[in-house]
Chains A and B, each alone.
Chain A
Amino acid sequence: MLTLNTTQTQLAIEVSNLKKVFRKRDGLRGPIKEEWALKGVSFYVQEGETYGLLGPNGSGKSTLIRILSTLLTADGGTVRMLGYQLPEDETRLRRKMGRVSVDAAFYKKLSPRENLLYAAQLYGLEPRQAEKRAMQILEQLGLESRRFSDPIEEMSRGMQQKISIARALLINPPLLLLDEPTTGLDPKSRRDVQAFLEDLRAREGTTILLTTHDMAEAERLAHRIGFLAHGRLVAEGTAEELKRRAGTPDLEEAFIALTGEELDEEADSL
């Protein structure tokens, strides 16, 4: 079982009563429909902790990650990360956060080198230093350095996701937001990424917020896990605590028992 060094008591993420609504007009002149993606979510993540968020499609995982990565503005509640308040301190916070999304989005005609250097420059990093760090990370993730200048469109999904992780880590962030980073990867790439994240946490003490569909991954990586369903955090605790509370031998059954929902493998849409 994963345990966290309890001497680290500082909170890296504090989310309180977080709400988000999406409004859409029904047709050209119809009434405006409201869809609540988050209905008052509260949780915290300690420094150096890995917190896993599990939830089916439409549970609000991606919305939550987007709010924390300053892409969306909450309609209610408060978010405090690394001592900064959102949305007031968003520019300062962006310099301290890395984010990996499920779809490994890149400029596909450019090489990993060009993509990473572009990201590094946007974060104000010196190109040579950024290139050196990117190479180190990619080698740790098992990417051959000779492919560093090939167009990304010629690379596998697994390779692209590894480059995506390298991009998020270029600034050596104390906080990492991972939105289903291993979805769609082959087993080898999945293991590589998971091992890398464990190593990163051990070396750098990085705080990680991880959303995933993979129960085994959540158990392996997360100190604590939150079950998200219909925009609410239904249950929270260590994997053992959740299983015990649900009275089930494995995490997936605990999820079904506590949320009344089933997880699926599709990407989250909300």
Chain B
Amino acid sequence: MMNEILIIARKELLSVVRERRVLFTTLVLPIVIMPLLMFGPILLFGNAARQTQESVQKVGVVGVPAEVLEQLRKAKVEPIEIANPQEAVQNREVLAALVFEKGTFTIYGRLSGGATQSALVVEKVQGALRAYKDRLVTQELQNRGIGTDILEPFRLETKDASREQERAAGLFAFLIPYFLVVFIQTGGMPVAVDATAGEKEKGTLEALLAAPVPLVQILLGKGLAVFVMSLLSTLAAITGLLLGGGVLRSLFATQLQAVQNGENAAQLGGALALDPLGYLSMIVTAVLFALLVIAIMISLGLYARSFKEAQSYMSPLMLVMIIPILFLQFSDFIKLQDWYFALPFVGVVLSLDAIVKGSATATLLSLTWVSTLVFAGLALYLAYRNFQREDVVFRN
């Protein structure tokens, strides 16, 4: 029995090896692209932000006192007189504008749409005004013979109490489940499509089904090939992330440190600090999840009449899987119930997140593993039933 399964799996993998484009996109591209995807934006934004801090920008001013203008110059902004601050900022004549009217300073900036250069300049202006305010307060206290200690009756410190694993993972805490889910599907999809709808479209499925091999072995052979590609692709992505991340961190150590204002580079992640049991748990979760996804993909692929139809069925699957990951970002605000860990996809994402953060428990992991195995079994049975149905296999 095993022999036929291996023969079929070997042929499916050989077909992939011959498709160099598929091989490149599933195995090579993740290694190259993952470090860039992870650290590229951080480095790019970090450098741009640093340059904005260090260089001088124009800021429109209306009615601003001379002392404040001097403070702005010290903060590396060049004040220029303007007539309409809102318009000047909107038309990008200046990156920010400052208006002083009736004892109130109003700062104008383009603050919608996330991290903008204007927002950074607004911060510079705010900093300059804070410094000016502190100077005025200090001066007034001194005039009245009061020490500045009164302004700080106690010290305030914040300490990161998250687990070592969570701190080391940094951004990974969210991204590892995401990438595992994405690469398990994208890595296996080309083989899943080719081995099911592809065989139908090429007409080779009939020859295969007419061979003296039981359907269940054909199904398992195809499943094994998809499984191997899924895991290889995921492995390539993680290798890219860890090795590439390491290389980038050493090459751009200064820049990364500057981005984080001199704090430990581990904040950015890329340094999984799991014990062997943690790694094993992650592998088991990923493997079980891969089984579920593969069984669903094969079932969908068998139902489809062509490559295109199979792809159109499988693409929404990615969205379905990503939704729990998006919610994961807000998991801190949700009171997690144990049964969430038994839900398809959701359980896997929650468990991976818990493993990466070092908060996984044996009960919750078991709940996810058993439920995922049951769902995978059901999906595999559905695929087998599809394989048995004439109206599905000969659907055209």
Contacts and interface: CB of A to CB of B under 8 A. Distances in A.
Interface of A: 22-24, 66, 69-73, 91-92, 94-95, 97, 99, 101, 103, 105-110, 114, 118-119, 121-124, 151, 167
Given A71-B206, A108-B202, A122-B208, 5 more contacts: A22-B391, A69-B206, A94-B211, A94-B212, A119-B211
A101 B11 CA distance: 21
A268 to B, nearest CB: 13
A121 B225 CA distance: 17
B111 interface: no
Contacts of B210: 69-71, 94, 97, 99
A123 B203 contact: no
A107 B212 contact: no
A105 B203 contact: yes
B209 A71 contact: yes
B394 to A, nearest CB: 7
Interface stretch (B14-22, B97-105, B258-266): B14-22
Given A99-B210, A109-B18, A72 B203 contact: no
B391 A110 contact: no
B208 to A, nearest CB: 7
21 contacts: A70-B210, A72-B390, A73-B390, A91-B214, A94-B210, A94-B212, A101-B206, A105-B204, A105-B206, A105-B207, A107-B204, A108-B202, A109-B15, A110-B11, A114-B14, A118-B7, A122-B7, A122-B208, A123-B212, A124-B212, A167-B207
A200 B25 CA distance: 47
A122 B4 contact: yes
Contacts of B394: 66, 71-72
Interface in B187-212: 202-204, 206-212
A219 B390 CA distance: 34
B391 A23 contact: yes
Given A73-B390, A110-B14, A110-B15, A105 B4 contact: no
B5 to A, nearest CB: 11
Nearest to B7: A121
Contacts of A121: 7
Nearest to A171: B212
Q: Which are the 3 A-B pairs with shortest beta-carbon distances?
A: A105-B203, A109-B18, A94-B212
Most chain A beta-carbon neighbours within 10 Å: one of B15, B19, B204:
B204
Residues of B contacting A: mostly: helix
B190 to A, nearest CB: 13
A82 to B, nearest CB: 14
A69 B206 CA distance: 9
A198 to B, nearest CB: 24
B213 interface: yes
Contacts of B391: 22-24
Contacts of A23: 391
Contacts of B14: 110, 114
A95 B212 contact: yes
Contacts of B390: 72-73
Given A72-B394, A110-B14, A122-B4, A105 B211 contact: no
A105 B211 CA distance: 14
A92 B209 CA distance: 14
Given A72-B390, A101-B203, A108-B202, A118 B19 contact: no
A107 B207 CA distance: 11
A4 B258 CA distance: 92
Contacts of B11: 107, 110, 114, 118
